[in-house]
Each structure stands twice: as C-alpha cells, then as structure tokens.
C-alpha cells in the first residue's frame, strides 16, 4: 500500500507509516516474549534509531529530496532489520539507495525523467528492506 501511494502522489501518509511501525513493534514484542529473546528488542530499537539517524542526516543535506515520510519509513523498517542483525540492517540501509540509483539511471538514460524530476523513494526503501531480509 505504501509503495502504491508513494508512486501515485509522492507521499507516505503518516497514518500508514504509523500503522506499519506499530504493527512491526507489536509483532517483534510478541516474538521476543514467545521466543524468550527479549534482548533482541534492543537490537530492533537500535536498528530503528540507526536507520532514523542515517536517513535524517541524508534528508538534511543541501538539495536532498528525501522527505520526512521516507525518513519515518526507513526508521520503521529499521525495527525488523535490526532484529535480524547488523549485517541485515547494513544491507537494508544500502540497498534502497542502490536500487533507486539504478532506476533513476535507467529513467535518465531513456529520457523519461530529468535531473530535477521528483521521484518517490518509498518503493526503493521497501524493496531494499525486503531484499535485505531475504539475504539474512
């Protein structure tokens, strides 16, 4: 749903991102309690904090087109990526930018966009997190 909305209107609505964050947090809490691994929750929270810090820093760079919704989505996905471990979080931080770069390069090469065309980043964040989780 988030990818579809971002592709359609270049926005990641707060209610959708908040729902995803709450669902992820609740699911990880239940998994930690049922699995007897509450220490992994600290890894999940650390993953969210690191992802938030990295994407907030990128969003604050001059000329950045990373929006607040992208930052919040990245932090949300940092929860499960952190839960899965540091290598997975690392891939989850890098892969969205690689994937988006490839898409932008293809669009620029085929002259479907210009350098100043606004493009959604949410689908790349989601795809990168999914691929990182598969690599775990």
> For 1-136, where are the alpha helices, taking DSSP H only?
2-9, 14-35, 39-59, 68-84, 86-109, 122-135
Res 17: pLDDT: 98
Task: Give the tens place of pLDDT for each residue, 66-100.
Answer: 999 999 999 999 999 999 999 999 999 999 999 99
Tens of pLDDT, residue by residue over 34-71, are: 999 999 999 999 999 999 999 999 999 999 999 999 99
pTM, rounded to two decimals:
0.94
Among the listed residues 33, 128, 48, the one whose alpha carbon sits nearest the alpha carbon of residue 82? 48
Under 8 Å between Cβ of 136 and 87:
yes
The proportion of the chain whose per-residue pLDDT surpasses 90, expressed as a percent, equals 95
pLDDT at 136 over 90: no
Q: Say how many CA atoms lie within 13 Å of 1 toward its Cβ.
A: 7
């Amino acid at each position: 749903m988030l990818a579809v909305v971002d592709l359609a209107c270049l926005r990641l609505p707060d209610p959708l991102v908040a729902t995803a964050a709450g669902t992820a947090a609740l699911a990880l809490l239940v998994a930690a309690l049922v699995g007897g691994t509450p220490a992994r929750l600290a890894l999940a929270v650390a993953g969210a904090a690191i992802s938030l810090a990295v994407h907030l820093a990128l969003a604050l760079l001059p000329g950045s087109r990373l929006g607040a919704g992208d930052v919040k989505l990245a932090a949300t996905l940092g929860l499960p990526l952190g839960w899965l471990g540091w290598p997975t979080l690392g891939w989850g931080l890098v892969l969205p930018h690689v994937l988006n770069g490839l898409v932008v390069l293809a669009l620029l090469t085929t002259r479907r966009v210009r350098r100043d065309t606004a493009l959604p980043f949410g689908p790349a964040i989601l795809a990168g997190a999914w691929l990182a989780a598969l690599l775990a």
